[in-house]
Amino acid sequence: MVWPFKPKKRKQIARVEITGAIASETRKRLLKAFKTIEEAKYPALLLRIDSPGGTVGDSQEIYAALKRLREKGVKVVASFGNISASGGVYVGVGADKIVANPGTITGSIGVILRGNNLERLLDKIGVSFKTVKSGPYKDILAFDREATPEELHILQELIDTSYQQFVETVASERNLAVETVKTFADGRVFTGQQALALGVIDRLGTEEDARRWTAELVGLDPEKTKCTTIEEKKSRLSRLLSGQTQSKPRFHSALNWVEFELSTSGQPLWLYRP
């Protein structure tokens, strides 16, 4: 993965996309892009987000990297596309400003962890497992048995801790009280228009509106300012293969997002494990 050297970009703004589920590859790509933006001296970043969420750690690391970029003097505006939910929101609140379409699907501020219990099915077909483990909770959420009350308590504490981190981050970045955020941070999704009323975003508008605002925030003429998308250089073979096979799902509507939810046992929103 090579990022070509670029001359100083004081009169341009950078653009980076987050598309699909947020996972380790997303994090690696974005951290390299942020480094390029810092080294090339771009004054601002337009971050386009079209994602239903993703893994906890990766979302938190991208958010932290955005904060560091802002500390270096780079203005960041997030533009929410068709969907920016859960981990997409966590990343988005790391920006200085957030713009969403009126019909953008956003929210889903919460944490989910889901397991499968196939014990009855396995009994019917005569399949059983013998487990040797180092501790009582090493096979927590095993699919061949019911979870014990003690295991459920451990998992609930894990969920509650991650949820509190999420809520406190949204509250801090959006200048809202924690208790206020909790009134709508119950896993529900809402539109961009509703998000504006709740204080989750700053303005309604398209990506073009967000681009123009980004330029204005750093004193550049939105009519003349070039917006450069920062992306990885790929070989011709890689581009050909990526056009034929989609290893990561792309989300272009709420329906696609629901289908992805069903295909992954409901785990993509914030605590999805790919």
| Distances in whole angstroms, Cα of residue 85 to Cα of each of 101, 233, 258 | 13, 28, 12
In the chain, the amino acid numbered 248 is K
**Active-site option among 51, 59, 84, 86:** 86
**What backbone phi and psi angles, to 5 degrees, belong to 124?**
-65, -35
At a CB cut-off of 8 Å and minimum separation 6, what does 215 contact? 13, 44, 221, 222, 225, 227
Indicate if 86 belongs to the active site: yes
**What backbone phi and psi angles, to 5 degrees, belong to 99?**
-120, 140
Pairing of strands 105-107, 189-191: antiparallel
Among candidate residues 56, 70, 119, the one with its CA nearest the CA of residue 268: 56
Among candidate residues 40, 24, 97, the one with its CA nearest the CA of residue 66: 97
Structure tokens at 9: 């970009």
Indicate if 138 belongs to the active site: yes
Separation CA 190–CA 181 (nearest Å) = 14
**Active-site option among 8, 72, 133, 138:** 138
> 3-state class of 124 per DSSP?
helix
| Catalytic annotation, residues | 86, 138
